Amino acid sequence: MAVTLAELARRFQGRVQGNPDLVIKRAASLDSAGPDDIAFLGDRKYIAKLATTAAGAVILAEAEVAHRAGPALIVENPHLCFARVAQLLHPSPAFKPGAHASAVISPSAHVAASAWVGPHSVVEAGAEIMDDVYIGPGCLVGSGASIGARSRLVGHVVIGDRCVVGEDCLFHPGAIIGSDGFGFVRDRERWQKVPQLGCVIVGNDVEVGANTTIDRGALDDTVIGNGVKLDNLIQIAHNVRIGDNTAIAAFVGIAGSARVGQRCTLGGQVGINGHVEIADDVHVTAQSLVTGSIRQAGVYSSSVKAEPADKWRRNAARLRHLDEMARRLARLEEKLQQHSEESEN
C-alpha cells in the first residue's frame, strides 16, 4: 500500500509540513525508518531523533513541530494517528476464499463463501463461519460454534462447542475458548465434576492473545464485552463477565463468576478472586491481588518492588513479626502517655 502525505492528512485530520505529494509506503520507528517510511514521535525524550531520523515523514504534535525540518504530519494525538496510519499501510494479509484440501469441514457446518478455512483445520457439525472470516492452519471450531464476520483465527486456535464469537475479532495461536470451567464438589476424599454446560460469548472487536484460555460457564455463560483486549497467557474462569473496552495484561487470572467493569486495565500477573465485582474505570497495577469487590473507579495496588535481596530479606523477616511490632508500638505510646501524665502531676 502507498499513500501520499496529503491523503494521510485528509483521512486523519492532520496538517502537512513539506511536500504533500511525498509517497509513504510503510510505518516504522524513528530509528529504522527510511525515505519511504513514516515514523512518529511518541515521547518528547526522543525529540533529538527528529533531526537524525531517515524517515520520509514524521507524525508529531504542534508543540514539537519546530524540531522537525523535513516532511511531517501534524496532528493532535501522534500515537493514535500513527496506529491508524499503520493500519492503513499494513492491512491484514488478503486471502482467497475457500478451504484447503486438508481441512475437515462437517457437512452440517455453514461456511460463508467469502471465508477461508486453512490446512488441517476442523469445523465441526453445525458450526457457522460468517463472511470474510479467516481460519488459519490447525484450528478447531467446535460443534455449534459461531464465528462472526471478518474475524481472524491466526492458526492453532480452539473455539469450543457452542461458543459464539462476534465480528472483527482476532485470535492468536494457542488461544482456547470454551474449555471446561474448574468446577468440582467435594465428595468425601474425592472430587465430583460439575458438568460445565454454559458457553463463552465473545463480543465484537475483541483480541485474544496467544495461549490465553477462557472457560465456558458452568450453567450460564462466560461473557467478554465488545472491544476487550486480552494479552497472552491469561486465564478467565467460568461465568466471568468482562465489560467493554477493558484491557488485560499477561498472566492475569480472573476466578469464577467475577465481574470486571468497562474501560478497566489489569496489569500483568494480577489475580482477581472469585465472585468479586470491579467497577468501571478501575486500574490494577501488576502482581496485585484483588480479594474483595472494588466499587470506586481509581488505581489499586498491592505490588511490592524488588530490591537487593539482602536488604529485602531483613525487611521481609520483620514483616513476619509486624503484628507484634504494632503491639509493642502501642504499648510504648501508652507508657509514654503515662510518663507524661505522671510528670505533669
β-bridge partners, 290: 272
Q: From the list 4, 19, 29, 114, which residue makes contact with a second copy (rule: CB under 8 A)?
A: 29
Q: From the list 53, 71, 245, 258, which residue makes contact with a second copy (rule: CB under 8 A)?
A: 245
Q: Interacting stretch for a second copy, rule CB under 8 A, among 4-12, 54-62, 68-76, 213-221?
A: 213-221
As measured in angstroms, the least distance from the Cβ of 137 to a second copy is 4
Nearer to a second copy, 20 or 25 (CB): 25
Q: From the list 86, 112, 149, 279, which residue makes contact with a second copy (rule: CB under 8 A)?
A: 86
Nearer to a second copy, 51 or 325 (CB): 325
Q: From the list 79, 98, 108, 295, which residue makes contact with a second copy (rule: CB under 8 A)?
A: 79
E-strand ranges in 104-199 read 104-105, 110-111, 116-117, 122-123, 128-129, 134-135, 140-141, 146-147, 152-153, 158-159, 164-165, 170-171, 176-179, 184-187, 190-193
By CB under 8 A, residue 15 contacts a second copy: no
Q: Interacting stretch for a second copy, rule CB under 8 A, among 15-23, 65-73, 108-116, 173-181?
A: 173-181
By CB under 8 A, residue 271 contacts a second copy: yes
d(CA 2, CA 65): 24
Which residues are CB-contacts of 11 (< 8 A; sequence separation ≥ 6)? 84, 88
Nearer to a second copy, 19 or 279 (CB): 279
> How far, in Å, are 159, 179, 183, 211, 320 from residue 155 at the CA level?
11, 17, 29, 11, 48
User: Exposure string (b/e) for 187-213, b if CB count within 10 Å is 16 or more?
Assistant: eeeeeeeeebebbbbbbbbbbbbbebb
d(CA 76, CA 70): 19
Residues 283-302 contacting a second copy, CB under 8 A: 284-292, 294, 298-302
Active centre residues (catalytic): 238
Q: From the list 13, 317, 344, 345, which residue makes contact with a second copy (rule: CB under 8 A)?
A: 317
Q: Are 136 and 118 in contact (CB under 8 A)?
A: yes
Q: From the list 2, 51, 219, 293, which residue makes contact with a second copy (rule: CB under 8 A)?
A: 219
Q: In this structure, how many other beta carbons lie within 10 angstroms of the beta carbon of residue 331?
A: 10
Q: Interacting stretch for a second copy, rule CB under 8 A, among 1-9, 10-18, 57-65, 187-195?
A: 187-195
By CB under 8 A, residue 255 contacts a second copy: yes
Q: Are 46 and 69 in contact (CB under 8 A)?
A: no
d(CA 233, CA 97): 31
d(CA 62, CA 64): 6
Residues 95-134 contacting a second copy, CB under 8 A: 100, 102, 104, 118-120, 122
Nearer to a second copy, 21 or 340 (CB): 340
Q: Interacting stretch for a second copy, rule CB under 8 A, among 9-17, 56-64, 107-115, 327-335?
A: 327-335
